[in-house]
Amino acid sequence: MGKQNRSLHLNLFLASLGHHEAAWRHPASDVNGIYDFRYLERLAQKAEQAKLDSLFLADRYSTSQKAVKYGAVGGLEPLTLLSALAVVTKHIGLIATVSTSFNEPYNIARRFASLDHLSGGRAGWNIITSGTDSEAQNFNLDQIPAHHLRYERAKEFVEVALKLWDSWEEDALIKDKASGIYANNSKVHEPNHRGKHFSVRGPLNLSRSPQGRPLLVQAGSSADGKDFAAEYAEAIFTAQQTIEDARAFYADVKARIAQLGRIPEHVKILPGICPIIGESEAEAKEKEAQLHELTHPAYSLLQLSNRIGFDLSVYPLDGRLPELPATEQIAGHQSRTQLIRDLADREKLTIRELLLRLAGGRGHLTIAGTAKQVADELEQWFVSGAADGFNIMPQLTYGGLDDFLDQVVPELQRRGLFRTEYTGTKLRDHYDLPYPSNQYAASLEHPST
């Protein structure tokens, strides 16, 4: 285990039937699970029994009439589902994706504070800027705004949210029935934010939540994304195809964090991993092949074209990927597009082969093998500076999630790499992260109520 005395962190990236785009077609899947709360509840409770740090829901603000033919239908809106899961779980963290491009900070600060209250301090926010024209077209725009403009708005959005979460000091509530004084209003602040994108007076209309604010998570790995993460994130989801790339990303981001005067250990880096477990490596590969056989190239192509903002339908499936626009000219998802191009180049993949490589996890690394092999790989990444933990993305939920929780997690626990009991009740406790201070609290003042 080397020099570290640290534990790794595990987040379940919940996709109702699985991350593979054909998971719904698998014989084991019950396709009605997408909207079946009792099924989703069982998944969350199972992850909690395995002592995972958190579960996480991605989000997208559109679907396409073409793509739904093959299954691109979204599930329940993330904060809606997590609000329901909050009251049927006790420990596991609940991380929702919300876009800063198509929302207002007052509403979002309030919803996360509400989820944090409701869950007793288990809310997390995966901050995204969204990256497709099809989403922009649902919000009064023709095209997705330029990459740097989205991040500019995102920064101001988060600054406003931080002010709103801090607008109530922790000891602002007095609740003295005798005098009728509910709050010490010298500890309730009006941010009076006036910026380029937002003007927000405040204060927030509910009191400070158990964690002070949700855990801040970020997932973009572009230059803009890394800068943003270094400044605000407490956990980072990332897609890395090789341990070398993951180490380089890890070192780069931790250096950016230190450069900003933050403590690198206070930001956990969690690459996404799609585990496929078999009794043997051959059986695991067979499971993957079985899912691949269920894909529709036409669907895979629509998904990829939408993701990279470039129509690939006119290119031959058995030819190579055409020249894509330079990364800095991409308005949408820069880092994922670059990862996809690098992957195709490095492995000299045809479009058809590339589609299969992306079908299971959209660019996240698949590890198909025995439970021991998967644990070995996770351990190697963890101890060699490639990861602080992992964003677990089962390609198939039915069976596949159980395989990971029942076989790989106990193996990691036996190796002393993962907790066997929760030691705290809040999401920040699980991730060994400090509680945020309040920008409006007078630092020398001692609380008096």
SS3 content of the chain, % helix, strand, coil (to 5): 40, 15, 45
- The residue among 108 and 230 lying less far from its own copies, judged by its C-beta, is 108
- Which DSSP helix (H) or strand (E) runs through 216? strand 215-218
Taking CB atoms within 8 Å and a gap of at least 24, the contacts of 374-380 are 374/275, 374/277, 374/404, 374/408, 375/408, 375/411, 375/412, 375/415, 378/8, 378/273, 378/408, 378/412, 378/417, 379/1, 379/412, 379/415, 379/417, 380/243
Residue 151 is labelled as binding a ligand: yes
Shortest distance, position 79 Cβ to its own copies, whole Å: 7
Find the binding residues for its own copies in span 141-180 (CB under 8 A).
Answer: 141, 172-173, 175, 177, 180
Q: Find the binding residues for its own copies in span 301-360 (CB under 8 A).
A: none
Binds its own copies (CB under 8 A): choice among 42, 49, 182, 286? 182
132 labeled binding residue: no
**Quick one: which segment of 45-53, 204-212, 319-327, 429-437 binds its own copies (CB under 8 A)?**
204-212
How many angstroms separate the Cα of 447 from the Cα of each of 117, 211, 343, 443? 22, 18, 55, 10
Reduce the DSSP state of residue 128 to 3 states and report it: strand
Is 197 among the annotated ligand-binding positions? no
Site for its own copies in 101-120 (CB under 8 A): 102-104, 106-107, 110-111, 114-115, 117-118
Task: Choose, by CB under 8 A, the member of 39, 45, 46, 139 that binds its own copies.
Answer: 139
Positions in 237-296 near its own copies (CB under 8 A) = 294, 296
5: burial class by Cβ within 10 Å (0-12, 13-18, 19+)? Answer: exposed
Closer by beta carbon to its own copies, 1 or else 68: 68
Report the residue number, 63 or 338, with the smaller CB distance to its own copies: 63
CB of 254 to its own copies, least distance (A): 35
Given a contact cutoff of 8 angstroms between Cβ atoms, the answer to whether 98 and 78 are in contact is yes
Binding mask 58-97 for its own copies (x = CB under 8 A): --xxxx-xx-xxxxxxxxxx-xxx-xx-xxx---------
- For residue 321, the SS3 value is coil
- Pick from 47, 50, 58, 200 the residue near its own copies by CB under 8 A: 200
Residue selected from 145, 152, 170, 206 as contacting its own copies according to rule CB under 8 A: 206
| CA–CA distance, 383 with 418 (Å, rounded to integer) | 13
Residues 119-138 binding its own copies (CB under 8 A) are 134, 137-138
Q: Does 385 bind its own copies (CB under 8 A)?
A: no
Residue 236: both structure tokens together: 């980072």
- Binding site, by residue number, is 59, 97, 147, 151, 221-222
- Binding site for FMN, by residue number, is 59, 97, 147, 151, 221-222
